[in-house]
Structures are given as structure tokens and as C-alpha cells.
Chain A
């Protein structure tokens, strides 16, 4: 299974997570978001970029509880809460946002 972006194909697993996270770029993110019926806007990019930075630093995709806490700390409680994040990513912020960010599924996510 693969996404097709600008004529090139990028492999993904049965759920939609990239097989090789080094292949990620912003065009691929847009394609994954489209497959999830999500339109990328500033708020969604903010979360996606936050996740990419987190992964870069810690080599792990954070669980939802960790994500909300970390977001609250850096961006304030109006962004670091479940309601805000579920409005942006209705099928699970950690899950969907990680997928768009090209990261593996968060550990502990079913």
C-alpha cells in the first residue's frame, strides 16, 4: 500500500503509517491528511510540527496524555487539552496527527 505524491509512491502500512519515516515531507503530510479527510490548517500543522520535534528529540511518538501535557506547557492550556485536540483530529490526536507527521503509531495506542 502506498501514497502517491508528485508522481512518486511512498509505502505505508495497513493503517496508513509511513513505512520509512525518512521519506516524509510536507506534500506527503498533505496527502495523508487528505486520506484521513482532514484539511491541513495552521492549527493542525502546529500539532504535527510539535510531534515531529518531540520525536526528533526523544525518538518516541508521545502518548495522548503526554502530548496534551507537553502542548499545555509550551503553547498554553487552551491548546494543550483533549477537547481542542480532538476537534482538530477527531479519530485521535496522537494517532492521526502522528500519522500525518510520518511518525510511528504512539506506543500504547490501540
Chain B
């Protein structure tokens, strides 16, 4: 067995209109199912992927935002959100849906998965990865 690598999936595009966001999520689920160390970053219009109350009825496409809440089951517990990207779009942390995971090492306590970081911190997170994939 090879050692698990650290993968960061960087999401920079709005959830609908292009296929990038959905494809990224699919790859994340595949990577996590193969026991890799997976985390996600949301910046630029990518922060809209985590917006509360998404409704895609008018678009005629699947609303895949609930799937982010399943990531904890896949062992994906770190979703970095860039603060500057939120601010530039007039969004606050309260405009995003809550995403949590259950910490197996802490009596299955429910903990938040969203980690709000500024641009400099996110750069450090990226530097710390083995693989960075941008969508």
C-alpha cells in the first residue's frame, strides 16, 4: 500500500452554469473513497457553492449542495473558505450552509467542517499539500 497523499481540491467557480463544481465534487468523493487525505478550498465564485438555500428548479439541473453535508461520512472534514472572496461578494459566514462532521476520536461529537481563512493562510494550506487540483 502506498502512503496516503494530501489532496486539496480548489473550487473557484459558481455551482451551476458550468460542470466544474459538480465534477470537482465527484472527484472528491472518488478520492476520499480510496482513502486519500482530502480537503477542499472555496475561493472566488466558488464560495457560492456553499450558499444556503440553493434552489435549482428553474435551471432544471440537480441541486447537489446537500452532498457537501455527506463529506464528513467520507472522512473529508476540512473545507477551507477564503474570507476575502466572501467579503468581495457581499457574503458573510451566515450566508453559507452549515457543514459538520462527527469526530470519531471525540465520542462522535459534531464539529464544523468549514474553516474560514484569509488569503495568506490559504496560501500556506496550499503549500502544505502533495497535490492541488483546481476546478
Distance (whole angstroms) from the CB of A52 to the closest CB of chain B: 14
| B73 near A66: Cβ-Cβ < 8 Å | yes
Query: Residue B125 at the A interface, CB < 8 A?
Result: no
Q: Chain B 62-75, CB within 8 Å of chain A: the 1/0 string?
A: 11101101100110
B-contact bits for A49-78, CB 8 A (1 contact / 0 none): 000001001111011011001100100000
Choose one: B34, B63, B66, B73; the contact of A108 (CB below 8 Å): B34
Judge whether A25 is part of the interface by a CB distance below 8 angstroms: no
Is A9 at the interface (CB under 8 A from chain B)?
no
Residue in chain B with minimal CB distance to A58? B70
C-alpha gap A107/B67 in the complex (Å) = 12
The chain A residue with its CB closest to the CB of B26 is: A107
A63 with B33, Cβ < 8 A, contacts A58-B69, A70-B73, A107-B26 known:
yes
> How many angstroms from the CA of A46 to the CA of B34 in the assembled complex?
26
Contact count band on B: 10 to 19
Which residues from A are CB-within-8-Å of B30?
107-108
Q: Determine whether the beta carbon of B29 is less than 8 Å from that of A108.
A: yes
- Option from A57, A59, A63, A66 in Cβ contact (under 8 Å) with B64: A59
Are B67 and A66 interface neighbours, CB within 8 A? no
Report how far A73 CA is from B73 CA in the complex, Å. 11
Q: Closest residue to A64 on the B side, CB-wise?
A: B33
With a cutoff of 8 Å between Cβ atoms, the chain B residues found around residue A66 in the complex are 33, 70, 73-74
6 residue pairs of the A-B complex, CB under 8 angstroms, read A57-B70, A58-B67, A60-B64, A62-B73, A66-B70, A70-B73
- Chain A residues within 8 Å of B, Cβ to Cβ: 54, 57-60, 62-63, 65-66, 69-70, 73, 107-108
Taking A58-B69, A108-B34 as known contacts, 6 extra A-B pairs with beta carbons closer than 8 A to each other, sorted by chain A number, are A58-B70, A59-B64, A59-B67, A66-B73, A107-B30, A108-B30
